[in-house]
A = this chain, B = another copy of it.
Amino acid sequence: MKIAELSRQSGVAVPTIKYYLREGLLPPGERSAPNQASYDERHLRRLRLIRALVELAQVPVAGVRAVLEAVDSPTMPLHDQIGAAHRAITPRRELRSTVDTRAAAAAEVEELLTRRGWSVTANAPALATLVDTVAAFRALGQDHLVAFLDSYAEAVERFTELEIAAVQSRETTDQVAESVVIGTILGETLISSLRLLAQESISAQRLKPSS
């Protein structure tokens, strides 16, 4: 198909497609004439992935490039592809300065990981974010909310097990890689929106004045 058709089918404007081509996010089409290239299903699918990453998960272009390189790498172990997806979405949240209670929060998170038997690298960005968040909850006097850390961890563990099993059931390594990355990044948007809807529904029942 021509670029106009690729634009129509993907819902991405032609200048944006050209930008993705220049940035190397989208592989070039097959040249059919000096000034014309032809695109196929592979381009459409890749374009949909880029669009979901950029618009839905708000991953910056540099992050998208890193994620796609991980997906396309025939040799990168899956575990490292997950790591690349994590790095693409975590740098967004970082407390620049330290909080008084950070050391206590780090010890608390360490104990949680031990209780749950989770083994993670010491420099995982999500580990720093978790410690900062626990410290912020404590500094803001919200200790009663940190009390649920174990319940949260247990719930998260349950659906992560399901996700990893589903991803492993994919046929080709290409499909597994793509699935891992999409599941990691878009899964976050999925869970976040579900949580907001659950809050709206439950708070309407419990917290609305009965007047």
> Interface on A for B, CB 8 Å cutoff?
11-12, 45, 48-49, 51-52, 55-58, 77-79, 82-83, 86, 90, 92-99, 113, 117-121, 124-127, 129-130, 132-134, 136-137, 139-142, 144-145, 147-149, 151-153, 155-164, 166-170, 178-180, 182-184, 186-209
Contact between chains at B144 and A179 (CB < 8 Å): yes
Q: Which one of A130, A144, A197, A205 has the greatest number of beta carbons of chain B within 10 Å? A: A197
Contact between chains at B145 and A55 (CB < 8 Å): no
Contact between chains at B195 and A156 (CB < 8 Å): yes
* 28 A-B pairs in the complex with CB atoms less than 8 angstroms apart: A12-B97, A48-B136, A55-B94, A79-B207, A90-B193, A120-B200, A121-B200, A124-B200, A127-B197, A129-B192, A129-B193, A130-B190, A130-B193, A142-B186, A148-B162, A151-B162, A152-B190, A153-B198, A155-B159, A156-B191, A160-B199, A163-B199, A164-B202, A164-B203, A168-B207, A188-B195, A191-B191, A191-B192
